[in-house]
Amino acid sequence: MAKKKESPQGTEWNYSPSPESTTHVKLEKRYALFINNEWVAPSSKAYFPTLNPANETVISEIAWANDKDVDKAVRAARKAYQEVWSKLSGAERGKYLFRIARMMQEKSRELAVIESMDCGKPIRESRDMDIPLACNHFFYYAGWADKLEYAFPTKNPKPLGVAGQIIPWNFPLLMAAWKIAPALAAGNTVVLKPAETTSLTALKLAEIIKESGLPPGVVNIVTGHGDTGAAIVNHPDIDKIAFTGSTNVGKIIQRSVAGTHKKTTLELGGKSANIIFDDAPIDQAVEGIVNGIFFNQGHVCCAGSRLFVQENVAEEVIRKLKHRMESLYVGDPLDKNTDIGAINSKEQLDTINRYIKIGIEEGAEIHQSQCAIPSQGFFCRPTLFIGVSQSHTIAQEEIFGPVLSIQTFRTVDEVIQKANNTPYGLAAGVWTDKGSRIFNLTTQLKAGVVWANTYNKFDPVSPFGGYKESGFGREGGLHGLGAYLKLS
């Protein structure tokens, strides 16, 4: 059976740059605060720049709201709640949300481009995942507005009032949708603060909200830094706080509201286990690892950042993973072929590099892909640490970057114990051909979301949230409504 050995005459074929067009995108040089459907200058007159992390250029200037501005926004929200929004029928509220969803769909390409410019994520992801999911989230909750009694039979669901919402920089528009849509569907009004590095798509959403004719004051967007968020959390006339972000800040918020009447939901960090058994569909599992940790540059709270691979297939899985990593392109987020975009900020890149250093110092074996990375901007190659133990720092602390720690295991019970052996509990992945094993693991893993033979799948109808220090409360689905209602 003689065959030719490798003949090296094939063809070198490289993808040409394929930049997404930005000429149709409308961005202002400077954005004020959005209160009562008006653009209002910040009382301190302070603005701060928002950067494109791929090239460190300034895109726009963003207003910095202080506690006076926050107070203005809360008052507007309260007035709108009492005089207008609480008096509308559920069907009418729903119609506004349907309208907003449709307008977002009409402007989806513009929103995707701005998201990639401001956040750093690849245009492929913002175009194919972030923006469609955000539109669909509004569409989904629009339909609940006049059906709340079905979600809570025999109860009389009523809105809480004014919700203060603080969102992170990793899925800016999607997180805004996750917060605003259910709150409005349930009859509340909203004061929302986007993350300081990614305010633009929330501000474009404000334009859409104004265009949709939503009554003034129902949604207010106040941009700023951590102090702006604190002002919202501490404002006495807020009934509900919803926060997505780091566990540390989540605890600060929870301490601030302890003893008050304010209800909270927190969606925090994670160190999720992605578990591959020897009977897994191996090639799809490798793809699942890639989706789990390199999707969105690893800036995902539910990232599968701890890989557990059964020892008897570890060598094969790691070899295939390394090969797969070589076809991941790190580069300009606006290039349609980019798989891994820019790290959102210098601070985050420094954090990731610090953990990489720790991983090396603690003795794990590092492997990074060989791809070129741009000389400007904040970029990090996809990184593996092999031979990691449960006690390594990089196996315990959330890195929030494209860095995967790999541990082996031998038995089902062992991996369940190790997967659960963490203060976090957001998500987990299970890869096996055996259905009965899947259900065993879903029953025993202490995680709010378990993905079997898939990873990082999101849908407006599917509830999302964590156990333990990954937070409490659920977003999405029927279960996501309860956070914004009082039931009597």
Binding site for another protein (CB under 8 A): 1, 3-18, 91, 94-95, 98, 124, 128, 136, 139-140, 142-147, 150-151, 279-284, 287-288, 319, 327, 336-337, 411-413, 416-417, 420-421, 433-437, 439-440, 443-446, 453-454, 460-461, 477-478
Q: Return the closest-CA partner of residue 391 out of 425, 357, 364, 353.
A: 364
- For 60, the enclosing helix (H) or strand (E) is strand 57-63
The burial of 153, by beta-carbon neighbours within 10 Å (0-12 exposed, 13-18 middle, 19 or more buried), is given as exposed
Reply yes or no on whether 301 is catalytic: yes
Q: How many CA atoms lie within 13 A of 155 on its CB side?
A: 13
Mapped onto helix, strand or coil, the DSSP state of residue 372 is coil
By beta-carbon proximity to another protein, the closer residue of 11 and 23 is 11
Q: How far is the CB of 451 from another protein (least distance, A)?
A: 11
Q: How far is the CB of 338 from another protein (least distance, A)?
A: 10
By beta-carbon proximity to another protein, the closer residue of 337 and 393 is 337
- Residues 9, 178 contacting (CB under 8 angstroms): no
Mapped onto helix, strand or coil, the DSSP state of residue 455 is coil
Q: How far is the CB of 46 from another protein (least distance, A)?
A: 41
Mapped onto helix, strand or coil, the DSSP state of residue 139 is helix
Mapped onto helix, strand or coil, the DSSP state of residue 225 is coil
By beta-carbon proximity to another protein, the closer residue of 387 and 463 is 463
Q: How far is the CB of 413 from another protein (least distance, A)?
A: 5
By beta-carbon proximity to another protein, the closer residue of 237 and 315 is 315
Q: Return the structure tokens found at 411.
A: 């038995």
How many other C-beta atoms are found inside a 10 Å radius of the C-beta of residue 9?
Answer: 5
Sign of the Cα torsion 71, 198, 96, 179 reads negative
Dihedral angle computed from the Cα positions of residues 98, 101, 103 and 105, in that order, rounded to the nearest 10 degrees: -140
Catalytic residue among 20, 135, 196, 301: 301
- Residues 468, 425 contacting (CB under 8 angstroms): yes
Reply yes or no on whether 267 is catalytic: yes
Q: How far is the CB of 214 from another protein (least distance, A)?
A: 17
Cα 423 from Cα 409, distance rounded (Å): 20
Q: How far is the CB of 392 from another protein (least distance, A)?
A: 19
Backbone angles phi, psi at 405, to 5 degrees: -105, 135
By beta-carbon proximity to another protein, the closer residue of 125 and 239 is 125
Alpha helices (H) along 212-295: 226-234, 247-257, 282-293
How many other C-beta atoms are found inside a 10 Å radius of the C-beta of residue 460?
Answer: 22
Parallel/antiparallel/unpaired status of strands 365-368 and 485-487: unpaired
By beta-carbon proximity to another protein, the closer residue of 196 and 469 is 469
Catalytic residue among 20, 115, 196, 267: 267
- The structure tokens 């040409």 sit at 16
Q: How far is the CB of 424 from another protein (least distance, A)?
A: 11
Q: At what angle do helices 172-185 and 90-106 cross, to 10 degrees?
A: 160
By beta-carbon proximity to another protein, the closer residue of 56 and 413 is 413
The residue type found at 354 is R
By beta-carbon proximity to another protein, the closer residue of 216 and 477 is 477
By beta-carbon proximity to another protein, the closer residue of 396 and 440 is 440
Q: How many CA atoms lie within 13 A of 382 on its CB side?
A: 29
Which residues touch 172 (CB under 8 Å, ≥6 apart)?
A: 115, 118, 119, 194, 195, 198, 199, 200, 201, 202
- The structure tokens 């969102």 sit at 167
What residues does 428 pair with on adjacent strands? 273, 450
Cα 42 from Cα 64, distance rounded (Å): 6
Catalytic residues, which ones? Answer: 267, 301
